[in-house]
Structure 1
Amino acid sequence: MLRAALVGAGGVALGGALAGCAAPGAATAGKTPVRIWDLFSGGDGALMQEMVGSVASANPGIAVESTTLEWGPPYYTKLAMASSGGRPPEAAVMHLSRLAGYAPGGLLEPFDLDVLAQLGVREEHFAPAVWQKAQYDGQLYALPLDTHPYITFHNPTIIKDAGLARADGKLDLDAVAGADAFLEAGRAMAEVTGETGVGWGYQRDPAGCWRMFWGLYSQNGGDYELTPGRPAALDEEAAAEVFEFLQAMVDGTVAARNQDGNAAAARFMSQRTGMMFAGEWDLPMFRGALPDVGATQFPAIFDTPANYADSHAFVLPRQVTPDPAGREATYRVLAGLLKESLTWASAGHVPAYQPIVEDPAYQELTPQRDYAPAAEIAVFDPDAWFTGGGSDFQTRMADAMTDTLAGTAPPRTAVTRMLSVMDRFLAQPNPA
């Protein structure tokens, strides 16, 4: 029944959603084909095609075919079915937060570290948190392309007028460290703007709700246990403290009540707030309205510095009869794409391949260089088959938080509801 449901979902959702940058034909005759599936559209899609073009030009004996599929559950359904059916592409892009749902089921193959090392890609080239998240059962199952953290954008003029800027004009993270200091900073920015100090849109934004909670929960030392067939476990006291802080923040002065992401972004871009919580992928939009927009890693509201993040990574779908020449070409293409990720950084993403971050050309990118340290304190979704980017889990978690964030229920209510939802997920089998 599960297989039939997955086939049906994939067949309906993916109809007409494929867009390739290369097609088999005379131009590819005699070349080793490497097909890559990704989920990049818009500006990200254009950058990826530029990177693929550069790698293809550097490897004339390889025919690189890049195909973009619809983002979200349809993409991951299609990938699972292609792997289980034995007709997958040579490589695919996956969020690291989804790896736990695919590697244990045998849908992916591990990378050969020796082959990667021969191509100049080694463990020391990645932030430890990112490298660790790419592991399963002691092996590397994903090759990270980037880290995309949930960060703090700011308006340099407003934070200066509010007394929150360093001598160089950038946000002073020490001035917003700790719950009390952060709330006071929000009030100071509200005095400058005449409205609110901080932008956070949590209504109708499940991912934003989850990113905020999980990042702060990790800062507060919260741990978890998600074992299939057993009740979920969270540090309930630490979780409740996070919601106490969020209720204090969403008071109509520090941050607006009952606000969605679009409204929060509009306030920030029209200079009606001095700070904005959002993903680094929003940099092009914010810079279009505020050319001198600043950005930093997430403030340390609690004791342990931590920054919620995810990562786009390349994976190797399981091949029934792997072709040695095709696998060698695939490694060469993926290593080449990592080394082209300065192009990827222009959209705001933090390259996972650290030699790019250390390159003088990257260090000239502002504000990208200012929030790049977020990768060093990155925390990812909990390891479970149902978690991760684009998952129904994040939607259900946000639903559990709704009344508490609206101020109509106490912090403990959100914690109890979240645990109940987690229990329901843990009682279900992994369909992949």
Structure 2
Amino acid sequence: MSSRSPVPEAVGPAGPARGLSRRSLMRNTAAAAGTLIAAGPLSGCASPASASDDASALSVWDLFQGGDGMLMDEMITAVSGGAQGFDIDRTILDWGPSYYTKLAMSAAGGRASDVAVLHLSRLAGYAPGGLLDPIDLDLLAEFGVTPRHFTAAVWARTQHDNTVYAIPLDVHPFIVFYDKKVAAKAGLLDPSGKLAPMGSPKALLDAGKALAEVTGKSGILFGHITDTAQNWRQFAAFYAQTGASFTLPDGGPARIDIDAAVRVVTFMQQLFDGRTNPNNLDYNGAMAGFLDGRGGMAMLGEWELPTLKKSGISLGAAPFPQVFDKPAVYTDSHSFVLPHQENPDPARRREAHRYIAEILKQSLTWASAGHIPAYQPVLAEPEYASLDPQSSYADAAKVAVLDPPNWFAGAGSNFQNLMCQPLQAALLGNMSAEKAVRQMVREANTLLQQPNPVA
């Protein structure tokens, strides 16, 4: 994930890769200057016929900024050299609601790029409305990429009505980072020096107390105040571990196991009781506390790895702890899609599939930022096994859990925000676990009564 919240952020210092066109550079600069706004004209949405000074360039939209943007530049550079190299016209847009507005408008208006990036959790809002074109799996297989190269948990979310519309680039899970030295003193490491399995709610509660005893401050840090996603990520992970399902059928009502959900929220209240593990931190406060040694563990997205590695902490990481009956880790996935075009050129479509395949094969580079490559052959490479701590949480992709599929859910959505608000009240002691769950259900049912605006 390139951001912590659905609020669009400024474009980072991601310069154009070699092989990108001059026009791409100009448009990236325009995006950095903030000229692309959600409700504004689609001046930056060039049609395939005019995507660059060279009409043969493959137009690609993504939302990768800052360090992620520079890594994507590096990957594009790697596939742009030689006789078979690509000429890529890359457009970087602000991540968040504005990105998804532009993506929908470009596809509906016949001005779509050849390839775009989509969070897999947002697929249900785009494929049913005809805003995406299907992936040609036979064509993709010609370039060495097939369904068997992805974990079943992630691949299952690439489809709508048994048709594949997305090819995952990565899995970016909600995990735990920990200070190895603190965890060792707290007795939480296994003989190999990795975080030992928890296995029960009590074990995680005890781990928080043990970590706090070592630090003299706090045990497990979690920033959630005024955050539009964090509480949902934690709840969704724990809830999936109970084995219960949370589905959002069109028209409603939401289907959720109330007892299981109350059990999870009650445990979250016990874990973050305001004593051993603080209950009143915002995102930046939790990060700062962990960086300053005021906590031995932090629950964060793996995308924070580059920042944490610079801190000098003896850093370890692990999949989100399993404390209930079933292993499950809340995740999302940056995926490649083909925005709808009325009359796509077969040669360009072929190149789009080849581009997707070749970028996937470069995803060892992508893993350096913490993301788990979705393309499994990369995980088998010795170079990936040597990445520390990335390789320690790679198994999270096997038990990935995404948002319930519906048009209004997914990364950067108001659904996540509405789920977070009662959860925040529960953690702060302002609402009972049962009332929080009942409010979550009411909010979900209200959303389910609204029609998909792009269907």
Calculate the TM-score normalised by the size of structure 2. 0.88
Q: In 1, are the aligned partners of 2:45 and 2:106 still within 8 Å (CA)? A: no
1:148 aligns with 2:176: no
In the aligned structure 2, how far is the partner of 1:327 from the partner of 1:317?
11
How far did 1:399 drift? 1.3
Distance 2:74 2:37 in 1: 31
Q: Tell me the residue number matched to 2:52.
A: 24
Supply the AA of the counterpart residue of 1:187.
Answer: K
Distance 2:100 2:334 in 1: 13
Matches within 5 A, 1:41-190: 41-58=65-82, 60=84, 62-173=86-197, 176-190=198-212
Between stretches 247-256 and 214-223, larger displacement belongs to: 247-256
**Deviation of 1:392 (Å):** 1.0
Instruction: Give 1:210-249 correspondences, 5 Å limit.
Output: 210-249=232-271
* Aligned residue identity for 1:242: V
Which secondary structure state, in structure 1, belongs to the residue aligned with residue 80 of structure 2? helix
> Is the Cα contact below 8 Å between 2:79 and 2:86 reproduced in 1?
no
Change over 3 Å in CA distance of 1:287–1:233 after alignment to 2: same
In structure 2, which of residues 334, 343, 349 is the aligned counterpart of residue 327 of structure 1? 349
Comparing 281-290 with 227-236, greater Cα deviation is found at 227-236
What amino acid maps onto 1:219 in structure 2?
Q
For 1:292 and 1:17, the matched residues in 2 are separated by: 45
Report the counterpart of residue 28 of structure 2 in structure 1. Answer: none
Contact 1:9–1:77 under 8 Å retained in 2: no
- 1:195, 1:302 → 2: CA distance? 27
Match for 1:283 among 292, 296, 305? 305
Contact 1:130/1:378 (8 A) holds in 2: yes
Q: Alpha-carbon deviation of 1:138?
A: 0.8
Q: CA deviation at 1:226?
A: 1.5
Question: Once the 2 structures are TM-superposed, how far is the Cα of residue 309 of structure 1 from its aligned partner?
Answer: 0.3
Q: Per the alignment, in what secondary structure is the counterpart of residue 187 of structure 2? A: coil
Inter-partner Cα distance in structure 2 for 1:260 and 1:14:
35
CA contact (8 A) 1:190 1:253 kept: no
Q: What letter is aligned with 2:431? A: A
Residue equivalent to 2:294: 272
SS at 1:67 equivalent: strand
CA contact (8 A) 1:33 1:326 kept: no
Q: Kindly state the Cα deviation for residue 423 of structure 1 after the two structures are TM-superposed.
A: 1.0
Number of aligned residue pairs: give it: 416
Q: Deviations over 1:305-348 (max 9, x none)?
A: 10000000000011111101101111111111000111100000
3-state SS of the aligned residue for 2:57?
Answer: strand
Output the CA distance in 2 between the equivalents of 1:180 and 1:346. 34
SS of residue paired to 1:106: coil
- Mean Cα deviation higher: 56-65 or 337-346: 56-65
CA–CA distance in structure 1, aligned partners of residues 417 and 167 of structure 2: 27
Instruction: Please tell me whether the aligned partners of residues 108 and 131 of structure 2 are also in contact (alpha carbons under 8 angstroms).
Output: yes
Q: What do residues 242-271 of structure 1 show as CA deviations (whole Å, max 9, x unaligned)?
A: 111010011123310211111111111111
In the alignment, structure 1 residue 37 sits paired with structure 2 residue 61? yes
Contact 2:181–2:314 at 8 Å: present in 1 too?
Answer: no
Cα separation, 2, equivalents of 1:61 and 1:338: 15
Which of 350, 364, 372 aligns to 2:394? It is: 372
Q: Offset of 1:170 from its aligned partner?
A: 1.8
In the TM superposition, what is the alpha-carbon distance from 1:10 to its structure 2 partner? 3.1
Structure 1 residue 301, shift from structure 2 partner:
1.4
Q: How does 1:261-410 map to 2 (within 5 A)?
A: 261-410=283-432
Q: 2:217: which partner in 1?
A: 195
Displacement after TM superposition at 1:233 (Å): 2.0
- For residue 15 of structure 1, report the CA deviation from its aligned partner: 7.9
Partner of 1:418: 440
Judging changes above 3 Å, is the alpha-carbon distance between structure 1 residues 351 and 58 closer, same or farther for their aligned structure 2 residues?
farther
| Cα distance, 1:13 vs structure 2 | 8.9
Separation in 2 of the partners of 1:106 and 1:77?
A: 15
- Give yes or no for contact 2:372–2:390 (8 Å, CA) kept in 1: yes
RMSD over equivalenced CA pairs, Å: 1.9
Contact 1:17–1:69 (Cα < 8 Å) also in 2: no
Give the match for residue 38 of structure 2: 10
Higher normalized helix content (fraction of residues): 1
2:228 maps to which residue? 206
Specify the code of the residue in structure 1 equivalent to 2:171: T
Please list every run of 5 or more consecutive structure 1 residues that lacks an aligned counterpart in the other structure: 1-7
Q: Partner letter of residue 96 of structure 2? A: G
Secondary structure at the aligned position of 2:229 is classed as helix
SS class of match (2:387): coil
Q: Secondary structure at the match of 1:371?
A: helix
Further displaced range: 8-17 or 254-263: 8-17
The C-alpha deviation readout for 1:182-202, integer Å capped at 9, x for no partner, is 101110111111111101111
Measure, in 2, the Cα distance between the counterparts of 1:157 and 1:110.
49
> Contact 1:108–1:315 (CA<8 Å) still a contact in 2?
yes
Give the whole-Å Cα distance in 2 for the aligned partners of 1:376 and 1:16: 38
| Cα 1:275–1:94 shift into 2, 3 Å | same
1:124 Cα deviation after fit: 1.1
SS in 1 for 2:89: strand
Q: Percent identity?
A: 47
Q: Taking structure 1 as the reference length, what is the TM-score of the superposition?
A: 0.93
